[in-house]
Every structure is written in C-alpha cells, then in structure tokens.
Amino acid sequence: MRLVLDTNVVVSALLWEGVPNRLLRVSHSEGILLYTSTPLLKELIATLSKSKLEKKIDASLYSIDQLVDLYAKEWGDPTALPEVAVAV
C-alpha cells in the first residue's frame, strides 16, 4: 500500500502516541510505503514551527529540523516519489 499522509497526521505521529504514531512504527513491517514531497515537507516545517507546538517539540528532545529529517529519511523520502500520470 502506498500512502501520502496529511501534514497534521504526520505532526500527530511525530509528537503524540496514537493511531498516526502506530502507522509510522509499523509501516515498514506491514508493507506500507509512505511518500512525501518537498512542498509537504515545507508545510511540515511551518506547522511544527507554530508556537502552540513548542512545548511538545521540546519534550520530544528533537529539534524541528531533526523531526523533519527523521520523517523524510525514515518514512517519506521525497526522492523516492514514483512517476505519476495525470489525466486532464
């Protein structure tokens, strides 16, 4: 299965326990391939930069850059995006 996760789902997965977090943890073992893109990673940085998430990020012991790198490299490598044909 191939998935592109909404930015809010990725934030939830990185900062909280729950279904989104479990999805990340089991994705490799369950054959789930996660994809992202440069625009989605920029949106992730912008979302994680919101002041309301500052305490949660501090508690994670990771910086915003580290969280984004972890997600991009471990789960959603944007260089692995397949070619997609778009019908107009």
Enumerate the domain spans of the chain: 2-80
pLDDT at 32: 87
If we measure between CA atoms, which residue out of 84, 80, 76, 85 comes closest to residue 4?
76
Residue reference for tokens 């044909």: 85
CB 53 within 8 A of CB 30: no
Q: Express the helix, strand and coil content of the chain in percent, nearest 5 each.
A: 60, 5, 35
pLDDT in tens, 5-61: 999 999 999 999 999 999 988 987 888 888 888 889 999 999 999 999 999 999 999
> What's the pLDDT band for 81 if we cut at 50, 70, 90?
low
CB 4 within 8 A of CB 46: no
